[in-house]
Each structure stands twice: as C-alpha cells, then as structure tokens.
Structure 1
Amino acid sequence: MPHTTVSHDETQVWLMPVFTAKAGHEAMLQEALLGLQSLSRKDTGCLEYTVFADDQRPGTYVLIEGWARRGDLEAHNEEVHVKDFVDGVQSLLAVPFSVSPITPLV
C-alpha cells in the first residue's frame, strides 16, 4: 500500500482566543464578539465558532473556533467582519487578546 501524506493545509485548525474587557466595557465587548460569532459561522470551512463567558473571570470571554483547513482560517482572517472586529475591539480590551492553537484529543 503506498504511503500518503496529508498536506498541512488539509488538516483541521482549532484556536482558542481569549478576550478581557476593560472595566465598564464588558457589554460592548460581548456584543462585538456575538456579532463576530454570527458572521464567522457563515464563513467557508467553519466547523465551530462559539464565544463563552469565563465564569471565574468576569469580563473574560473565550472563543473556540475550528476550521476544516488552514486555507479556510486564512480566508476568514481576511474577511471584512474580522478585520473590522480586530480594529474596533482594541479600545475595549484591558490587555491584547491572545490566541492559542489547540488540538482536539480524539
């Protein structure tokens, strides 16, 4: 049987961005994240795009996003709704948002 390799672009990509609101900006950040969630779920290759409130850290929101291929994530990051979110959310954040790559244990 011939050995086949899966190209890097054909493997799923999972990320966990974390956002922490400045005091008094929690509602605006939450609204911005929910808008991003709604639009991003329609992007090609989106497997998962869900925002969670961190129950132990008020004002902190965790996004779990999954993409069918790296190319889908790259296309998503070039979408106007993503660029507008990143530009618009800076003033609402206590610290720059972080993005951790994550891997499902299957």
Structure 2
Amino acid sequence: MFQVTGLLRFWDSLNFKKDNEFMRITVLFLDEKIVIHGYIPVERANHYMPYLKVGSIVKVDSFEVAKCSSMYQITDHPFLIRFIPSQQPLLMKSSRVLLRSISSHY
C-alpha cells in the first residue's frame, strides 16, 4: 500500500529534558483538504532527510497508521503516519506539480 500526498512542512523534534536530544523528524502532509501529522523516527531520519522538500509531492509506501495521542496531536486529524524501515526513498516531484494538483481538485 502507498499514499501520494503533498509535503506541507517538516521540522526536527527535540527532547528538551534530555539536552535537546534529537527524537524524530515531524512532518505535515496535505492530502486533498486534510492535514495529516506524521513522523520519521530517529533511526530513519538520515535515510529520508535528503529527500524532504517542502511543497513537493511524495509517494509514501513504508508507513503505518496509528491513533494520535491528544498530548502530541498537532492537527485535527485523529491519526498519524509513522514511517517504518524501507529500502525505498521517498518519490519526490516538483512543487509546481503540487500546485497544479491541488488546484485541479476545485
């Protein structure tokens, strides 16, 4: 199973109680009109980081869906996407494709 979606934004998540230890890359995906929270665990961050580009279209094929804890919920969506180990990089397309595909839904 895979999902094609827009990469809206991403940032490093740090543990401030442990001397700013890097925990994960937090991502926001835009799928049609829904913003979905996701994250890339620290173990996979170096694998995916070179492929992350805000505004691009990504094909995500190695993930699992989990209920988002209200403590960490950053969108209205009740679920989040958690990246799992894969040998495949994110398939990226240019940001111009994202703009055309979003406008074609209206």
- Higher-helix-fraction structure: 1
Query: Which structure shows the bigger proportion of residues in strand conformation?
Result: 2
Q: Give the TM-score normalised by the residue count of structure 2.
A: 0.30
Tell me which structure has the larger Cα radius of gyration.
1
Structure with bigger RCO (C-alpha 8 Å, 6+ apart): 1
TM-score normalized by the length of structure 1: 0.30
